[in-house]
Structure 1
């Protein structure tokens, strides 16, 4: 069985529903102020740090 990487966690459905509500509110507010979305890699090369 694979283990998740140290320092990460899983979010179950009930918690994800609440997190999505918060994300939607934050995204809406950011867009109202003229900010756009940026997506970066989930994990970076270790030699970057």
Structure 2
């Protein structure tokens, strides 16, 4: 399972969700208003400041 981020065109994070497959993540993007980019979240523990 991997965590995917949904971002708008300005790369603002709209949502984060865990999915078993990339296909599931891509299908969910259709329900995230304004989502234009999907990326796999880095699970290294780094946080935005």
TM-score (norm 2): 0.28
| Structure with greater helix percent | 1
Higher relative contact order (CA 8 A, sep 6+): 2
TM-score (norm 1): 0.28
Q: Max radius of gyration: which structure? A: 1
